[in-house]
Amino acid sequence: MILPELIQRRDKIRRLMQQQNIEAALIACNINLLYTYGRIISGYLYLPLDKPARIFVKRPNHIKGEFVHNIRKPEQIIDILKEEGLPIPAKVMLEADELSYTDYTRLAALFPDAEIANGTPIIREARSIKTAMEIELFRRSGAAHTKAYNQIPSVYKAGMTDLQLSIEIERLMRLEGNLGIFRVFGQSMEIFMGSLLAGDNAAYPSPYDFSLGGQGMHPALPGSVSGTAMKAGQTVMVDMGGNFNGYMGDMSRVFSIGKLTQKAYDAHQVCIDIQNELINDAKPGAVCEDLYHKAIEMVTKAGFADNFMGINQKAGFIGHGIGLEINEMPVIAPRIKRELEPGMVFALEPKIVLAGIGAVGIENSWAVNAEGVEKLTLCEEAIIEL
């Protein structure tokens, strides 16, 4: 990662720190290190308000450079700051929502006389507005994502289970450069490379706050494929994560095993219409909850409200911010009064689940600009028959 890009990101965090009179941040979590340092290390990035950042590295031990210090334990940080002539901050922020209790208390003890602030919301706020380079990385990821999805019909074979098809799609994704990890904020949600939902498995409730669930192969990871055979007249919704360069692009597409009922095609078109209508309104200043309510109005008028975003267990949103994790800000949901701003990147995913058929609908990634939004995932949106 080039230094001007990293400085731009760090300065966004600094501006938010200044608003709360925070004099320094000690960043320790993988994703925030990737954001502020350009790589993941076992160590820390110390970010003073008005001095260059310092890097404290435990592992790997080959990293060198200006403002880089190799350490064995975090307790060495304070002595190095003093040697460098840096003042010990009176108010410092730690990633309280992400660190373990043990790590938080250990790092807080480095600053016994300081006020400790929770830096997680500040860093997430900074990350919600992407730089030009980040949006370009999304574009490149979207192109690779589309290339993999376009090959899905070529790997389908009659009689496959949902697991077998998922494995083949995962292979396609990896061959196009997918890094194989799909990162989620917080410890209450987990996912492998993404989700494939065939038939009624799309309606299976999940403990995770995703748009749709799936039974999964084992209670240890209750989501996505269940190992059942795919049958004629059912849909297959592919929602594999587009992590080709660290940024979590999101795209869902629907395939069918043979022909579907007309109701399925009608419901799918309703989802596309909702997408197109909301995207027409998705300009800077648009309020997230207003977009959500408009979707509800449209799906209710079309007669599919009972099936929207699930059947028995429904998702409480139709869109979410994406970035280095899939659940960043903003969230397009009720009671979310956040306005869209240029630089935000979000996934919009209106979906309908039909009993006996499966899920239909669409998901694309979008970047907000001064005029409206740019679509980042360019792939056929109609249901494709396998």
- Asked if residue 229 and residue 91 are part of one domain, the reply reads no
Alpha-carbon distance values, 213 to 74, 161, 323, 361, 383 (Å): 40, 18, 22, 15, 20
Contact 346, 320 (CB under 8 A): yes
CATH of the domain at 199: 3.90.230.10
Note the pLDDT tens digit of each residue in 40-59. 999 999 999 999 999 999 99
Asked whether residue 277 falls in the same domain as residue 192, the answer is yes
C-beta separation of 338 from 289 below 8 A: no
What b-and-e string marks burial along 351-370, b requiring 16 or more CB atoms within 10 Å of the CB? Answer: bbbbeebbbbbbbbbbbbee
Comparing CA positions, the residue from 93, 89, 71 lying closest to residue 80 is 71
Q: State the pTM of this model.
A: 0.95
Range of the domain at 96: 3-127
Query: Rounded to an integer, what distance in angstroms lies between the CA atom of residue 282 and that of residue 288?
Result: 9
Is the pLDDT at 65 greater than 90? The verdict is no
Q: Torsion angle, CA of 272/224/141/253, rounded to 10 degrees?
A: -30
**Average pLDDT score over residue span 224-234:** 96
Please give the pLDDT value at position 323: 97
- Are 277 and 148 in the same domain? yes
Question: Quick one: 228 and 172 in the same domain?
Answer: yes
pLDDT at 1 over 80: no
Q: Looking at the predicted structure, is the pLDDT value of residue 8 above 80? A: yes
Residue 118 and residue 214 in one domain: no
pLDDT classification of 2: cutoffs 50, 70, 90: confident
238-to-44, 173, 251, 252, 321 alpha-carbon distances in Å: 37, 12, 8, 5, 19
**Looking at the structure, do residues 234 and 207 belong to the same domain, yes or no?**
yes
Q: What is the pLDDT of residues 101-152, one digit of tens each?
A: 999 999 999 999 999 999 999 999 999 999 999 999 999 999 999 999 999 9
Q: Which of 59, 94, 127 is the last residue of a domain?
A: 127
Task: Clarify whether residues 114 and 140 are in a common domain.
Answer: no
How far is residue 207's CA from residue 182's CA, in Å, rounded to a whole number?
17
What are the pLDDT digits (tens) for 316-363? 999 999 999 999 999 999 999 999 999 999 999 999 999 999 999 999
Query: Which pLDDT value is given to residue 291?
Result: 98
Give the C-alpha separation, 278 to 237, whole Å.
Answer: 22
For residue 382, report the phi and psi dihedrals to the nearest 5 degrees. -75, 160
pLDDT at position 211 is: 87
Percent of the chain residues past pLDDT 90, beyond the cut: 95
The domain tally of the chain equals 2
Pick the more confident residue, 186 or 96: 96
What is the per-residue pLDDT for 187? 80
pLDDT tens for 256-289 read: 999 999 999 999 999 999 999 999 999 999 999 9
Beta strands at 384-385 and 345-348: parallel, antiparallel or unpaired: unpaired
Rounded distance between C-alpha atoms, residue 34 and residue 146, angstroms = 25
Left (φ > 0), alpha (ψ -120 to 50) or beta: where does 75 sit? Answer: alpha
Mean pLDDT of 220-239: 96
Looking at the structure, do residues 68 and 112 belong to the same domain, yes or no? yes
Q: What pLDDT digit, counting tens, does each position of 150-199 carry?
A: 999 999 999 999 999 999 999 999 999 999 999 999 888 889 999 999 99
Q: Are residues 160 and 256 in the same domain?
A: yes
pLDDT, position 209: 86
Q: How far apart are CA 293 and CA 304, in angstroms?
A: 15
Return mean pLDDT, the chain.
96
Phi/psi for 30 (5° steps) reads -50, -55
Domain's final residue, options 127, 158, 177: 127
| Residue 221 DSSP code | B
CATH number of the domain within which 53 lies: 3.40.350.10
Number of helices followed by number of strands (H, E) in the chain: 10, 19
221 backbone dihedrals φ, ψ, rounded to 5°: -145, 80
Q: Which domain-ending residue is among 127, 160, 193? A: 127
Per residue in 188-202, pLDDT (tens digit) is 888 999 999 999 999
Residues 203 and 348 in one domain: yes
Q: What residues does 351 pair with on adjacent strands?
A: 361
Whether residues 139 and 114 share a domain: the answer is no
- CA distances, 11 to each of 21, 25, 144, 226 (Å): 15, 12, 31, 46
Residues 161 and 231 in one domain: yes
